[in-house]
Structure 1
Amino acid sequence: MINYFKSTLLLLCLFSLSLIAESCGSTQISNNIMFEANPPFTIKEAYFQKWVAGTKEGGAGTKVHLVFKSIGPEVALKEIYFQNQIQKVQKASNSGYDYFAEFDSNTRSNIIMDIDPMKEAQNTPSQNFPFELQENEAVVSYLFNDKTNYFKIINLSEKERIAYPQSNPNLRN
């Protein structure tokens, strides 16, 4: 009876230790994705800016800006993860160190709803968001040495919202 009790206690302890070991790792997140602590670039400024069009059809959204102090030619920026959305990184045309991603506030407005299943099949499935981020945090994915890496940016500043005019003022008489 005592051996049975010891065996049960030992199994219970091993099971508990395995659960604790599974949950450890402060930089590890879901899907076994790890954040890079020392990326091959330096970010000078990171911010987001909401915008709204002057007409209802024009929409609204948020633009995330990344200004790098240094970034090597061997680094290929891929995507920005922000507020439960994923967008490709684009290079700003005015500078070699400015990048951005645009997030539409109305992301699912282009869903095709039709009685014909072939037309509905054209819808792109929504992506699972792999990170738990605060409102002012983002993750940038990049290729370096043929490997995809992830870097978490905390405390993005928010700049004043841009409200675009209803129409082009230069076209008025």
Structure 2
Amino acid sequence: MCVILFSCKSTSNNYKIEKRPTPEIEKAYYQDWASGIKGGGAGYSVYLFFKENTNITIEGIYFKNKYSKIKFQGKNKYQAFVKNNENLEKSNMDDTEPIKKEDKLEKIPFELKGNEAVISYIENEQKRFMKITLNKNENMDLPM
């Protein structure tokens, strides 16, 4: 008789939130955005300002049931654009009946409430996660 045992690594361990993450955030906020074109999309612009740390690489953010890559904007500043399912309506030729794309919530590996977000980063060649709360910035920048 032969018995074979397999051990699978739990996916919950792959997405463990760090209790004491290395990156320190000085400021973090988001703003709503919407395309000026009907059907052009909408979402959130996320702004992150970290204290200096050269030993990490910031990768992405989970926010409002979506994931987006984070882009480096120079000297400890990062930005992400998280799309939502708003402003996706497109009309028929005669503009009488709107056609709306189906709203879908992505399955993300974290349970987030309100303005909570999770940032993924690489430290010592290991992917890590830190949870933060984003403040909503109500100031609207209007184009000139």
TM-score after normalising by structure 2:
0.70
Percent identity over the alignment is 36
Q: Deviations over 1:59-85 (max 9, x none)?
A: 321111111122x22201111000100
Q: Partner amino acid for 1:158?
A: K
Q: Deviations over 1:106-136 (max 9, x none)?
A: 38x6xxxxxxxxxxxxxxxx86311110120
More strand by proportion, 1 or 2? 2
Counterpart position of 2:135: 157
Answering whether residue 127 of structure 2 is matched by residue 148 of structure 1, we say yes
Answering whether residue 33 of structure 2 is matched by residue 46 of structure 1, we say no
Instruction: Decide whether the 8 Å contact of 2:63 with 2:118 is kept in 1.
Output: yes
Counterpart position of 1:37: 19
| Alpha-carbon distance in structure 1 between the residues aligned to 2:83 and 2:106 | 15
Which secondary structure state, in structure 2, belongs to the residue aligned with residue 73 of structure 1? coil
Which runs of at least 4 in structure 1 moved beyond 3 Å after TM superposition? 161-165
Aligned length in residues: 116
Q: Partner amino acid for 2:22?
A: P
Which secondary structure state, in structure 1, belongs to the residue aligned with residue 55 of structure 2? coil
Q: Partner amino acid for 2:58?
A: L
Instruction: Decide whether the 8 Å contact of 1:52 with 1:163 is kept in 2.
Output: no
| Alpha-carbon distance in structure 2 between the residues aligned to 1:138 and 1:56 | 28
Counterpart position of 1:88: 69
Q: Partner amino acid for 1:38?
A: R
Counterpart position of 1:113: none
Which secondary structure state, in structure 2, belongs to the residue aligned with residue 58 of structure 1? coil
Counterpart position of 1:100: 79
Which secondary structure state, in structure 2, belongs to the residue aligned with residue 128 of structure 1? coil
Q: Partner amino acid for 1:159?
A: N
Q: Deviations over 1:32-81 (max 9, x none)?
A: 322112222210011111012333143321111111122x2220111100
| Alpha-carbon distance in structure 2 between the residues aligned to 1:41 and 1:104 | 25
| Alpha-carbon distance in structure 2 between the residues aligned to 1:42 and 1:100 | 16
| CA shift for structure 1 position 161 | 6.2
* C-alpha distance 127-136 of structure 1, shift in aligned 2 (>3 A): closer
Unpaired runs of at least 5, structure 1: 1-29, 110-125
TM-score after normalising by structure 1:
0.59
Point out the structure with max Rg over C-alpha.
Answer: 1
Counterpart position of 1:112: none
| Alpha-carbon distance in structure 2 between the residues aligned to 1:75 and 1:56 | 39
| Alpha-carbon distance in structure 1 between the residues aligned to 2:107 and 2:34 | 26
Q: Partner amino acid for 1:160?
A: E
Unpaired runs of at least 5, structure 2: 1-10, 89-104
Root-mean-square deviation (CA), in Å?
2.4
